[in-house]
Amino acid sequence: MDVLIPIDGTDASKRALDFAIEMIGGMGGSLHVVHYTNSQTDATTAILDDARGRLEAGEISGEPELSTITVDVWTADRVGEEILDTVERGGFDHVVMGHHEDGIVERTVFGSAAETVLRAEAVPVTIVP
């Protein structure tokens, strides 16, 4: 199984990464962790360092991939579309991603990357709250 884990540094994405590490540890496969950003900052470095630490602490075989993808137009729907593009280009079998509860106004105005990926039904998706 080839699994994509989009991360953004939130507690929900950290839980999703931890879940994916456990899932792959039990089932086998490969992990591809991607941070989508509109600019490389110190926060990007911190997010990737945290993910690297979690991957090193996990008991998984193989070498997980860790990368960033720059998104020009920064909306949740656009990030969701970028995730779907990554799934298609990479031939991923599964997506594991975090989701935090937003209010109806936030979802209506900004959308949700997780919702965009889930509704596309391109591959199985596990949403970790």
The tally of domains found in the chain comes to 1
Residue 102 has what pLDDT?
60
CA-based max dimension of the chain: 42
What is the pLDDT, as a whole number, of residue 106? 46
Profile the chain (129 residues) by mean pLDDT over runs of 10 residues: 92 94 86 90 92 88 84 79 94 89 49 82 89
* The pair of three-digit structure tokens given for residue 35, joined into one six-digit string: 């941070």
- Partners of 4 in beta bridges: 32, 95
Q: According to the model, what pLDDT value does residue 4 have?
A: 94
CATH number at residue 119: 3.40.50.620
Q: CA 112, 117, 118, 124 torsion: positive or negative?
A: negative
Contacts of 97 (CB under 8 A, 6+ apart): 5, 6, 13, 16, 83, 113, 114, 117, 125, 126, 127, 128
Tell whether pTM > 0.75.
yes
Tell me, what amino acid is at 93? D
Q: Which domain holds residue 12?
A: 2-127
Q: Quote the pLDDT of residue 103.
A: 54
